[in-house]
C-alpha cells in the first residue's frame, strides 16, 4: 500500500507498507477500511491477512474544508454533480483507453445499502483486449520506416439508474505516425522535453445512427468547459499537450500571431 499525504513535509509525502502489516501501525484501523469498502472488488479480510490483493485500488478522501493546498472542498452536491458528468460521458468513456473494458459506479449508504448508478462495459471485450494489446505491442517495436494502424468495431453496453440497457457500436481507428510525419513533426516527436507520442485515434458511432457531437479526448474526454468539440461527427483522441489541470488544450492566442510559439502549441496544431 502506498500512502500519499501532500500536506506532509516533502521528504515524508509518501509512505509504503504491506497490507498485512497495516494493523501494526498506530492510528491505522483496517476494520474501518473493510467496513467502508464492504468486501467489494475482492478486497476483504482474507486478502488483507494474506497480504495480497489482485488488482489496484485508489482511495481518494474528499476535502471537506479549505486547506493550505486548496480552498476547494467537496460536499455531497458536488460529488453528485461529478457522478452526473460521468454518466453523461459513459457511452464513450471506454473507447480510447488502453486496458479498461468495464466501469461500475455505485453509491453505498451508511447502512450498507447499495445503489447502482452506472454500469458500462465493452460487450466484445476479449476481442478488443486482443486488438489493443496487439496495437500497443507494435508501437514498442515500431521503426522509423513504418506507421502502425489498427481498426476495429466496439460494442458498448450501458446501464444507468434511469436506463435499463442501451447498446452502441463504434468504429475505432488508431494510428501511430512515424514514416509519414513531416520533418517539422518528426522534430517534435523526437523532442525529449515534450515527451509526447504521435499516437492518434478517431471513433465514429455506427449503431444506432444518430447525431454525435465530436469530442476531443486525451484517452479520456476533456471536461466540457468551453469548446471541447471537434466540429465533426466523430471523436478525436491524441497525446495532446494539456493545461496543468488537464482541462484544456494549449493553443496560440490572438496576440501570439507572428511571435514565438512553443513546441507544445505546435504539437497540438
Residue carrying the nine cell digits 454533480: 81
Q: How far apart are the C-alpha atoms of 138 and 146, rounded to whole Å?
A: 10
What is the model's pLDDT at position 17? 80
Per-residue pLDDT for the chain (269 aa), expressed as one digit of tens each?
787 888 788 787 887 888 888 777 777 777 777 777 767 778 888 888 888 888 888 877 788 888 888 888 888 888 888 888 888 888 899 999 999 999 988 887 777 778 888 899 999 999 999 999 999 888 877 665 788 999 999 999 998 877 778 899 999 999 999 888 999 999 999 998 999 999 999 999 999 888 788 899 999 888 766 555 777 899 999 999 888 777 788 887 756 555 678 899 999 88
For residue 124, say if its preceding peptide bond is cis, omega within 30 degrees of 0: no
Q: Which of 146, 171, 173, 150 is nearest to 237 (CA)?
A: 173
Q: Are 250 and 269 in contact (CB under 8 A)?
A: no
Look at the block and give the residue holding cell 515524508: 12
Alpha carbon distance 130, 124 (integer Å) = 10
Q: What is the pLDDT of residue 227?
A: 56
* pTM listed for this prediction: 0.79
- Is the distance from CB of 101 to CB of 129 less than 8 angstroms? yes
Amino acid at each position: 500500500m502506498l500512502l500519499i499525504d501532500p500536506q506532509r513535509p516533502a521528504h515524508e509525502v509518501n509512505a509504503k507498507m504491506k497490507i498485512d502489516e497495516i494493523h501494526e501501525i498506530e492510528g491505522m484501523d483496517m476494520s474501518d477500511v473493510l467496513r467502508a469498502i464492504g468486501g467489494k472488488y475482492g478486497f476483504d479480510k482474507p486478502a488483507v491477512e494474506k497480504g495480497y490483493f489482485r488488482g489496484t485500488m485508489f482511495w481518494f478522501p474528499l476535502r471537506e474544508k479549505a486547506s493550505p493546498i486548496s480552498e476547494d472542498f467537496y460536499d455531497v452536491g458536488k460529488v453528485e454533480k461529478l457522478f452526473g458528468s460521468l454518466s453523461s460521458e459513459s457511452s464513450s468513456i471506454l473507447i480510447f483507453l488502453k486496458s479498461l473494458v468495464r466501469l461500475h459506479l455505485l453509491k453505498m449508504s451508511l447502512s450498507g445499502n447499495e445503489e447502482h448508478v452506472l454500469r458500462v462495459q465493452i460487450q466484445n471485450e476479449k476481442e478488443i483486449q486482443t486488438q489493443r494489446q496487439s496495437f500497443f505491442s507494435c508501437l514498442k517495436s515500431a521503426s522509423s520506416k513504418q506507421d502502425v494502424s489498427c481498426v476495429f468495431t466496439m460494442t458498448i453496453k450501458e446501464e444507468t439508474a434511469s436506463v435499463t440497457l442501451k447498446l452502441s457500436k463504434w468504429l475505432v481507428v488508431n494510428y501511430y505516425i512515424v514514416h509519414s510525419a513531416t520533418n517539422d513533426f518528426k522534430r517534435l516527436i523526437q523532442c525529449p522535453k515534450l515527451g509526447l507520442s504521435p499516437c492518434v485515434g478517431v471513433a465514429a458511432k455506427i449503431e444506432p445512427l444518430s447525431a454525435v457531437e465530436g469530442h476531443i479526448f486525451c484517452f479520456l474526454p476533456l471536461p466540457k468547459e468551453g469548446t471541447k468539440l471537434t466540429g465533426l461527427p466523430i471523436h478525436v483522441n491524441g497525446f495532446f499537450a494539456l493545461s496543468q489541470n488537464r482541462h484544456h488544450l494549449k493553443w496560440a492566442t490572438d496576440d501570439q500571431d507572428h511571435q514565438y510559439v512553443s513546441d507544445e502549441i505546435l504539437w497540438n496544431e
